[in-house]
């Protein structure tokens, strides 16, 4: 089994993103945050710093960040509600108003310190405030370190759907330090693992096999283990963003599981599922669709489904009619000319995008989905007992 190449590196690794006219480094490494002052000076320059974060995150991570700034002053720390249900235009407006009242001007440097919600809202604010200011992402969840902080997608939700208002706004610098994850609640950590499985499933067979081979399920709180995963997923994301910044082609493969996942989040008012959990269900659904369309062999589907279920507990699916989910899917950004475009796995480590799926196939998969999840979990239980 091939091991992730980055495992032996001790110093932070730099992954360069070159998207359109922006180019910036993603610095990944245990202790990378301690280089913050030098990294800002080198990659961003000088300007008044405005932190956007949440109370919980800033309580845990604020002291470390202030130490790492080493005497550089923070003009203002603005804390906001980072629940998914608060990821709204109203929140973005409130933050813009707080920034202007705090004296922020075009030379402001925003620091987004938090998970994907903080990053998405702060990113949008950076894109629209005074027609755009600089932003540095310091992601503090696994999901944000492997995915959301990289690539410049920003956005907020509408009641009609997920991330329906947003903009592309690339950061100037991203710092992924796994030491910041030590205080992350277990459920949020597992939510990020679903995105790790997604990356492996679409683009990295050796990583998939490495995750599969872990004997006691996936539990990677250990910094060394995290360093096998974070830079690797960050590389996948950077590679796809470099090829297709605006998500009109190959970047779309990163949406594996997101067609149904986003619809589930919207159908449950962003309260029942964490993002990664909804994506877990979405990946199960897309895998079943791929089998139904003969795009994926059932042996590979079984492996995919087993690994997804193995990440951990998924909140049960509420009874939502298939027609309601289809309605939401048609409003999704990923649909074109009334057709929903799916990302389907075609082998372990490979996915196809832009595939239209007949409604009858979706109806059948939607009806079978809860049973399949139970079946995979049962199998898993037996396997664990045998070991
Ligand atoms: N822009 C993109 O490309 C992209 C990609 C994937 C996901 N997303 C978005 O990311 C969001 C999900 O992000 P998430 O999974 O990071 O969840 P999150 O931002 O909701 O954070 C999860 C929880 O963990 C807390 N937290 C964060 N860091 C912590 C730490 N170090 N210690 C203790 N508590 C901490 C937060 O306060 C929050 O309660 C979704 O809105 C999703 O749409 C965006
Ligand atoms: Zn996602």
- The 10s digit of each residue's pLDDT in 102-133 is 999 999 999 999 999 999 999 999 999 999 99
**Measured distance CA(44)–CA(298) in Å, rounded:** 49
How does pLDDT run across 22-65, given as a tens digit for each residue?
999 999 999 999 999 999 999 888 899 999 999 999 999 999 99
**Measured distance CA(339)–CA(143) in Å, rounded:** 29
Pocket of ligand 1 (CB under 6 A): 54, 56-57, 60-61, 82, 84, 87, 114-118, 120, 140-141, 143-144, 147-148, 151, 153, 163, 180-181, 183-184, 188, 191-192, 275-276
Element (H, E) at 64: helix 55-69
**Measured distance CA(52)–CA(99) in Å, rounded:** 10
Half-sphere exposure of 351 (CA within 13 A, CB side): 31
Q: Which residues pair with 14 in a beta bridge?
A: 27
All residues at 6 or more sequence positions from 283 whose CB lies less than 8 Å from its CB, including other chains: 194, 197, 198, 201, 256, 257, 261, 304, 308
Does the pTM exceed 0.85? Answer: yes
How does pLDDT run across 320-337, given as a tens digit for each residue?
999 999 988 887 766 666
> Which of 44, 65, 247 is closest to 140 using CA atoms?
65
Instruction: Label residues 57-95 b or e (16+ Cβ within 10 Å = b).
Output: bbebbbebbbebbeeeeeebbbbbebebebbbeebbebb
**Which residue, judged by its Cα, is nearest atom 7 of ligand 1?**
148
Q: Is 141 helix (H, G, I), strand (E, B) or coil?
A: coil
Q: Ligand 1, residues 51, 141, 176: which to mutate, most atoms within 8 A of Cβ?
A: 141
> Which of 176, 97, 93, 95 is closest to 142 using CA atoms?
176
């Amino acid at each position: 089994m091939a091991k992730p190449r980055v495992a032996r590196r001790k110093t932070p690794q730099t992954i360069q993103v070159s998207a359109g006219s922006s180019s910036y480094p993603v610095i990944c490494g245990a202790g990378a945050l301690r280089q913050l002052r030098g990294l800002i000076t080198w990659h961003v320059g000088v300007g008044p710093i405005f932190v956007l974060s949440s109370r919980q995150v800033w309580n845990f991570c604020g002291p470390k960040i202030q130490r790492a700034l080493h005497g550089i002053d923070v003009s203002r720390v603005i804390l906001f509600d980072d629940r998914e249900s608060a990821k709204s235009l109203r929140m973005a407006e409130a933050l813009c108003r707080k920034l202007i009242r705090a004296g922020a001007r075009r030379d402001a440097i925003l620091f987004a310190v938090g998970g994907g919600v903080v990053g998405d809202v702060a990113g949008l604010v950076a894109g629209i405030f005074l027609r755009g200011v600089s932003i540095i992402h310091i992601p503090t969840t696994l999901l944000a370190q492997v995915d959301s902080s990289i690539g410049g997608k920003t956005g907020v939700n509408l009641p009609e759907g997920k991330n329906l208002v947003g903009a592309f706004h690339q950061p100037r610098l991203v710092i992924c330090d796994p030491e910041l994850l030590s205080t992350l609640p277990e459920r949020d950590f597992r939510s990020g693992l679903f995105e790790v499985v997604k990356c492996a499933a679409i683009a990295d067979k050796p990583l998939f096999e490495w995750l599969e081979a872990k004997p006691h399920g996936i539990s990677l709180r250990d910094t060394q283990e995290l360093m096998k995963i974070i830079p690797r997923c960050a590389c996948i994301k950077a590679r796809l963003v470099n090829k297709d910044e605006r998500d009109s082609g190959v970047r779309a493969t990163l949406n594996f599981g997101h067609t149904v996942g986003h619809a589930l989040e919207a159908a449950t008012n962003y309260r029942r599922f964490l993002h990664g959990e909804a994506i877990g269900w979405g990946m199960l659904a897309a895998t079943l669709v791929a089998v139904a369309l003969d795009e994926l062999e059932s042996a590979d589907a079984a492996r995919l489904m087993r690994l997804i279920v193995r990440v951990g507990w998924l909140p049960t699916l509420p009874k939502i009619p298939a027609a309601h989910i289809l309605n939401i899917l048609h409003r999704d950004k990923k649909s074109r000319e009334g057709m929903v475009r799916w990302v389907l796995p075609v082998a372990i480590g490979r996915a196809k995008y832009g595939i239209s799926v007949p409604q009858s196939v979706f109806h059948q998969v939607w009806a079978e989905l809860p049973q399949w999840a139970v079946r995979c979990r049962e199998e898993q239980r037996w396997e664990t007992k045998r070991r």
